[in-house]
Every structure is written in C-alpha cells, then in structure tokens.
Amino acid sequence: MGGSAPADRRAFVGALKRRSGFADAHGGMDLPAAQGIRIPTATWVAARTRSWARSIDVPTTVAVSTAVVLGLFVRLVHVLRADFPLNDGGLFYVMMRDLQRAHFALPAYTSYNGGQIPFAYPPLPFYVGAALSDLLHVSPIQVLRFLPLALNVLTIPAVCLLARAILRSKFMAIVAAFAFALLPGSFDRTIVGGGLTRALGLLFAVLALYALHQMYVTRRRRFVVTSSLLAGLATLCHPEAALFVAYSAPLLLIAYGRARRGLADSALAAAGAVLVSAPWWAASLLRYGPGPLLAAGGTGGQSPYFWLPLLTFGFTGEPFAQILAVLGLLGVLSSVAGRKLLLPAWVAVIFLVDPRAGSTFAMVPLAMLVAIGLTDVVLPRFSQLAAWLRDDTRWTEAWARERGVRLVLTAVAAMGMFGAIGASLPFTSPLHALSPQARDAMQWVRAQTPADARFLIVNASGWNDEPTIEWFPALADRVSMTTAMGREWTGTGAYQRKADQNQALQECADATARCLAEWSARTGIRFTYAYLPKGPIMGVVSRTDCCGALRESLRSSPDYSVVYDGPGATIFRRRADPPSTSAAPNGSSPLR
C-alpha cells in the first residue's frame, strides 16, 4: 500500500494535467507534483496564440473590415464638410455641460432654454460624452461631432454578427454588413449631433438582439445575463432603442424560442434589463414622479400613414437609383415565397409600433433582406452559385472563380457608395450643419442682449428641418419661445403644444409684422426679439434666405427696430414690449 502511493499520486497529477490542457509537450514547467499546479511558459503561450490565430477566418475578417472602412469613409464625407455637429444636438450639448459643471452629479434640471426641463432623459450617453470631453480636453461640441459617427460605424460589425446568426451564412452576413454601411437610412439620423443617444442606443440594441437570439438557440444561461445587460444599457441610452428591443424580442421568441424554456428565459432577461436600467428610471420617479416618463412615452403618436414607407419601400434614404431598396424588396419577396417571414414581419412591425424612428431601426432587418435579395435572387441568375454562396467553406471560391459575382457585387457597392455620399443633397436631409455666420449671430445675441430676453425664431420651416431652432438656446443662452426640444419631459401635451405653436409661427415667414402680433395675441406668448435667419446652411441653395416679406415688413414697422443685421441673421427688437434693463452677460463663448 505504502509503496504504491507515489505512483498513484503521479497518475492523478498526470490525469489532472491532461484534463487541464497543460501537457509537457507544450513546454510547461511543473511545480512539485504534490501541488498538482502548472505554470505555462512562453512556449505554451506561443502555441496557444498560434492555435487562436489559425482559428481566425481571414477572408471573412478582411471582408467585414472592408465594410467598416467603407462605412467610415462615406460617413466622414458628411461629417468633415463642417466644423460643427451636423443638424441637431443643442440640447445634448447643454446637458453634457450641465453634467460637467455639476462634477458628474445628475442635475435636477437642465439649463437649456430657461432651465425648466427635467434632467429625466436616459443619461448614459451624456456621461460618456462628458467624460470623453474631460478626458481628451476637447469641447463637447467636438464630441457631438465625432462620437455619434464612431458609434454608428461600430454598429456595422454588430449588424454583421446578428445577420450571421439569423441568416446562417457568412457570405450573406458580409453582404448585410456592406448594405448597412451604405444605406443612408442607417446613418443620416445617427451621425448628427443629436445622434449621440440614438447611435449608442442602436449599438446596444443590436448586440442585445444578438444575445437574445443566442439565448433562444443555444439555451445557455449566460446569454440571459448578456441580453439583460445589453438591453438595460440600450434603455439607459434612448427610449426608442429600448422599445426596439422590446418589440423585436417577441419576434425572435416566436421564430426561435417557442419552448417553455424560451418564455422563462425571456422573462428573466426582461427583469434583468429593468434592474440594469433602474438607476435612470428609479431616480426619475423619485425626483419627478411618473409625469415625465409618461409624457415622453406619449410623444409623437401613431401616424395614420405609417404604411406608406412600406408600400413605396422608399425609406432607405437613397437619393438616386434606389438599388439597395430594390434588393431589399427582392429579399422580401424571396422570404415570403420561402415562408421565412421573420425579416419581412420585423420591418412591418417597426413601422407599425414606432413609425417616427422606423427609418432608422428598419435598416437592421433591411440590410439582411438586401443580402437575401442579392444572394438568392440576383446572383444565381448569373451562375449556379446559390449553394456555393450559402456554404461557409466555398463562398470565397465563388468570388475567386466567378467573374459575374465580382462584377455584380462591385457594381452594387459602387452605386450604394454613390448614394451614401450624395445623401445630403435632398432638401430634407439632416446632414447639414449650422453655418459659421449663424453661429456668429447667436454669439452676438449672447453678448449684447439682456439675460431675460425672449426670442421668436422665424425660419419658414419646422423645428426638425434645420438646426437653428434647437441650437439657438444653447449658443445664444437665451430663451426661444417656441423651441420644442426637451419639452416632452415637462408634461403630457407640452411638446406637441410647442411644436404646434412653432408651426403656426412659421406661417408668418411670408406675411407681415401684423402676423406676429396676431400670433402673439392668439397664443399668449410675449417676446422681445424676433430672429430671422439669413444665408445658406452648408451652402445648400434651396435653404438660403427665408422670410423676405416679413423682414421688409419689420424694417418698416414702427413697432420694431433692427439691432443686428449680419450674414447669418437679422434681429429685430420689439419696441412695443421693450427688453429688461438687466445687465448683459459677459459674452464668453460657449464653444470653449
């Protein structure tokens, strides 16, 4: 008995080493056998590294990286055209500054446009942006200019990951990545200044849906935790991102997780997401009660024409030949014919539940439908490639040998790239920035008008068509009487009332001074200054000077006097309601 103990011990240690993967062949160095512990050496680490490197799918990695670089390029074309965030972002700029001034303690109210808006917005993007601003020693303006772009580009490989799981084809996942990279609808609302929250929310939402898919397919508990965390982070970024996950998850459940286990895991994931997002909604409930959350949830409403984008399939944002829209429609027809209804149903549900943000979130399933249309409908017409392209081991062979494949894919990519670069051409595109001349006019307002001045901004268009109305309270640090941004958190109906008042005000752009007086009497809103923008926004001719009739009428009216007339705006003071005599601010620039 005693003589066999060392042999038994050596056998035990050897078995333990073999089970743990630390074999002498890997060059390891053993500690005393009694301890049964092994320290890996450089040789073992090198062997493991080579094994990991061999496991990398180089063609797929190169293809996805190419899609990311292409997506970065077409987005940078728009962002680098201006030295200022595209379109909106004024509210978010002020909220980041509020966080910095409060040393990252959550303020009760934001100072934006009079300081009456609760700081109830999901705060994670503002913390990320303000922290980056402090860490990199740059203005929040520059953070709003580049961070949404970076987050949106990171969403490209996330979409590829989700497409690989749903479509079960590397080639189709790569096509989906290229489609998402080039679809204007995937970035025209997310790389703008106000896209900070939308871009981060979309990234977390796509990753959460991938985790949910894996949870249903693999039935591994770790994906319950992962999906809970990612869905909670999406909720901490944007309410619409949380809603996107909430109505997409049941579709994945129906398609992949109809067993009782799937329902139980879904309930656990939902509960986990609620807990992860609790720091936001719990703090909001304790501070303000349910009012702001209920009011924000009721903003927008359901459009009776939500089905129009689906009927025309014109929601991709392509300004020229809508090649990706056509491929997506072919993907819908192919999916319906094959009774694979998940992706077509997903697009329909997006516009049914959230039509206002539908053109952004629909890009995720649409990118996969483009891949189906190209792979299952178009390419097989050039060669018998359907089986090869769906085979993860032979799709590179199809690319290498079939000239038709290379020709079609190159043509589609070129046309898609042309459309993505030209996405800023339509009049309604948000890919335009506030001009330097307009910013100069707002700096003058900040320096030369009383702190309690009240402004009307007449720009002949709605608040969401150009950035003047949102950026004015942030850069001029004065109250705009009809700016609706942030009002969705102040009470039920407040946002819509402001939007309606602003819409009525813009009808005065081609009228006379009497129109402003009648509008003021009808709404009960008093103002001391009228601000009329001038000059183009980023050189877009169709967006040049507005309000010519009103401008001339105010010049000749005894009730108004011109106090500023520059290339960015004409500003009138209302004599009938003179401004306060309070001291003007020091005029320091908010862009520092």
Residue 477 is predicted with a pLDDT of 94
Amino acid residing at 67? A
Residue 580 CA to residue 524 CA, distance in Å, equals 19
Interval 516-525: pLDDT, tens: 999 999 999 9
Contact at 8 Å (CB) between 541 and 491?
A: no
Residues 6+ apart with CB under 8 A from 498: 482, 483, 484, 487
Assess whether pLDDT exceeds 90 at residue 98: yes
Residue 167 CA to residue 177 CA, distance in Å, equals 12
Which tokens belong to 248? Answer: 């997409």
- Per-residue pLDDT band for 494 (boundaries 50, 70, 90) equals confident
Assess whether pLDDT exceeds 50 at residue 539: no
* HSE-up (13 A, CA, CB side) for residue 442: 26
The widest CA-to-CA distance across the chain, in whole angstroms, is 116
Residue 565 is predicted with a pLDDT of 93
% of the chain surpassing 70 pLDDT: 79
Residue 304 is predicted with a pLDDT of 59
Mean pLDDT on 425-433: 85
Residue 511 Rama label (left phi>0; alpha psi -120 to 50; beta): beta
- Round the average pLDDT of the chain to a whole number and report it: 84
Residue 194 CA to residue 85 CA, distance in Å, equals 9
Assess whether pLDDT exceeds 60 at residue 26: no
Tokens 């799981």 label which residue? 165
Residue 40 CA to residue 114 CA, distance in Å, equals 63
Q: What's the start-to-end Cα distance of the chain, in Å?
A: 82
Amino acid residing at 489? W
Residue 260 is predicted with a pLDDT of 83
Residue 160 CA to residue 178 CA, distance in Å, equals 9
- Per-residue pLDDT band for 395 (boundaries 50, 70, 90) equals low
Strand ranges (DSSP E) for 460-537? Answer: 479-480, 529-533
Which tokens belong to 289? Answer: 């009660």
Contact at 8 Å (CB) between 119 and 106?
A: yes
Strands 38-39 and 454-457: unpaired
- Per-residue pLDDT band for 581 (boundaries 50, 70, 90) equals very low
* 3-state DSSP assignment of residue 318: coil
Comparing 258-262, 475-479, 542-546, 587-591, the range with the smallest average pLDDT is 587-591
Interval 101-160: pLDDT, tens: 999 999 999 999 988 899 999 999 999 999 999 999 999 999 999 999 999 999 999 999
Comparing 232-246, 356-370, 377-391, 425-439, the range with the smallest average pLDDT is 377-391
* 3-state DSSP assignment of residue 560: strand
Strands 479-480 and 560-565: unpaired
Comparing 18-22, 224-228, 332-336, 411-415, the range with the smallest average pLDDT is 18-22
- Per-residue pLDDT band for 1 (boundaries 50, 70, 90) equals very low
Residue 461 is predicted with a pLDDT of 65
Residue 221 Rama label (left phi>0; alpha psi -120 to 50; beta): alpha
Contact at 8 Å (CB) between 96 and 130?
A: yes
Strands 560-565 and 569-574: antiparallel
Cα separations (Å) of 553 from 488, 513, 550?
34, 6, 5
Torsion sign over Cα 137, 139, 142, 148: positive
Return the bridge partners of 532, or none: 570
Strands 529-533 and 479-480: unpaired
Residue 315 CA to residue 455 CA, distance in Å, equals 36
pTM of the model: 0.85
Within 10 angstroms of residue 353's Cβ, the number of other Cβ atoms is: 18
What does residue 574 show for φ and ψ, rounded to 5 degrees? -90, 110
Residue 536 is predicted with a pLDDT of 67
Highest mean pLDDT, choosing among 2-11, 49-58, 215-224, 463-472:
215-224
Cα separations (Å) of 345 from 268, 322, 333?
25, 22, 12
Q: What does DSSP assign to residue 373?
A: I
The DSSP-derived string for 392-424 is: TTTHHHHHHH-HHHHHHHHHHHHHHHHHHHGGG
Strands 109-110 and 29-30: unpaired
Residue 483 is predicted with a pLDDT of 87
The DSSP-derived string for 166-230 is: HH--HHHHHHHHHHHHH-GGGTTTTSSTTHHHHHHHHHHHHHHHHHHHHHHHH--THHHHHHHHH
Assign 3-state DSSP to the chain and report helix, strand, coil percentages, each to 5.
Answer: 65, 5, 30
* 3-state DSSP assignment of residue 457: strand
Assess whether pLDDT exceeds 90 at residue 570: yes
* HSE-up (13 A, CA, CB side) for residue 102: 18
Contact at 8 Å (CB) between 278 and 102?
A: no
How far does CA 507 lie from the centroid of its chain?
A: 32
Q: Regarding predicted confidence, which is higher, 312 or 110?
A: 110
